[in-house]
Amino acid sequence: MASRCGAVAVGLLVALVAGCGAGPVGRADLESALALTFDHLYGVQQQRLGRPAAHDAGASATCDKGGPTVPDQGTGEDWSCLVSFVSVDGALHQVTYELQVRTDACYRASGPPSAVIGAPRLATPEGDLDNPLIEFDGCTQVL
């Protein structure tokens, strides 16, 4: 009797995990996570540069995996995302990030050092600090 109850409980759990379980990371999941993370990190970068942090970069992202023929979902190193944002001076900028999406629904984003997001190291009032926008880790909500 007890073992039957146990088996039923484990079966229910499997169904629950499978049913409520997060699916593969989709394009929308990645886009919303990346845009939000970029917003936050832009604020951190500006703060490190000694500029007012109370600026909303209003970032948005458009992601694609492996070109037009590959479905835009799942893990891989072939994700590419275009992030659009408004800098402190009010100008609209765009920067492309290469993303590695892992099976744990987290990702690593790498952007090219440029005039848009800056150099890998920032010359700040407190000395050289890492530029948080060059390379960063994040997780989607599909955990």
Partner 1 sequence: MSATPDLTPDAGPVACPHPQASGTADRTVRLGTAVRVEVAKLVAQRPARALLTLAVIGPVLLVAALRLQAGLPKDTLLGRQVRESGLAPSLLLLGFAGQWLLPLLVALVGGDIVAGEDRHGTWPTVLTRSCSRVTLLWAKVLVTAGWVLAVVLALAVSSLLAGLALVGTGPLLSLSGEPIPPGHGVLLVLAAWASVLPPALAFAALAVLAGAVTRSTALAVGVPVVLALVMVLLLLVPGLGPARHLLLASSFSSWHGLLTDPTRLWPLVRGSLVALAWAGVCLPVAFTVLRGRDEPGG
Q: Which of 26, 27, 44, 72 binds partner 1 (CB under 8 A)?
A: 44
104 binds partner 1 (CB under 8 A): yes
CA angle 91, 37, 136 (to 5 degrees): 105
Among residues 26, 27, 39, 113, the one that binds partner 1 under rule CB under 8 A? 39
DSSP state of 73: B
Identify any residues that bridge with 135 across adjacent strands, giving them in sequence order. Answer: 110
Write the interaction track for partner 1 spanning residues 52-91; mark x where CB under 8 A is met and - where it is not.
----------------------xx----------------
Task: Specify whether the CB–CB gap between 76 and 89 falls below 8 A.
Answer: no
Minimum gap (Å) between residue 67 Cβ and partner 1 = 18
Among 29, 30, 31, 41, binds partner 1 (CB under 8 A): 41
Question: In the bound complex, what is the minimum distance in angstroms from residue 23's beta carbon to partner 1?
Answer: 7
15 in contact with partner 1 (CB under 8 A): no
Q: Per-residue b/e over 106-139, b at no fewer than 16 CB within 10 Å? A: bbebebeeeebbbeeebeeeeeeeebbbbebebe
| C-beta closer to partner 1: residue 12 or 88 | 12
Q: What does the alpha-carbon distance between residue 6 and residue 1 come to, in Å, rounded to a whole number?
A: 9
Is residue 3 a contact point for partner 1 (CB under 8 A)? yes
